[in-house]
């Protein structure tokens, strides 16, 4: 299992007001602030982060530092980051941005 998964999981769980639950998108490991989901993992290989379409546009420079990201083909609000070889610190910054928007 990916060390990147565990680093991100632990760091996201420590963000203020975060609770873990099941995603409405099917993932068993999702993170919520209040009632809003802002991130979830897929099989410890990817993390989806909800930045909103506006947030994706606003954070293009930060996204350019994450080599393994792509827009979610099903929603403009979410981006997908593959964990294998990802920049954990920058990916965590994206998760923090999503957390702060709630």
Share of the chain above pLDDT 70, in %: 98
Assign residue 50 a region: left if phi > 0, alpha if psi is -120 to 50, beta otherwise? Answer: beta
**Per-residue pLDDT for 86 more than 80?**
no
* Number of domains comprising the chain: 1
- Structural domain of residue 31, as residue ranges? 3-100
Confirm if 49 and 94 have CB atoms less than 8 A apart: yes
**Per-residue pLDDT for 9 more than 90?**
yes
Per-residue model confidence (pLDDT) at position 62? 84
Q: How far apart are CA 19 and CA 37, in angstroms?
A: 9
Per-residue model confidence (pLDDT) at position 1? 46
Whole-model pTM: value is 0.91
Per-residue model confidence (pLDDT) at position 34? 95
Structure tokens at 74: 């099903």
Token pair 């420079």 is found at: 61
Return the CATH number at 58.
3.90.1150.30
Q: What is the mean pLDDT of residues 9-21?
A: 97
Of how many residues is the chain composed?
102
- Give how far the C-alpha of residue 9 lies from the chain's centroid of Cα atoms, to the nearest Å: 10
């Amino acid at each position: 299992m990916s060390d990147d998964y565990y680093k991100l999981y632990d760091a996201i769980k420590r963000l203020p007001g975060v609770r873990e639950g099941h995603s409405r998108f099917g993932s068993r490991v999702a993170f919520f602030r209040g009632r809003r989901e802002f991130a979830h993992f897929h099989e410890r290989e990817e993390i989806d982060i909800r930045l909103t379409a506006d947030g994706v546009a606003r954070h293009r420079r930060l996204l350019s530092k994450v080599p393994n990201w792509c827009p979610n083909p099903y929603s403009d609000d979410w981006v997908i980051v593959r964990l294998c070889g990802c920049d954990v610190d920058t990916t965590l910054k994206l998760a923090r941005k999503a957390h702060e928007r709630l």
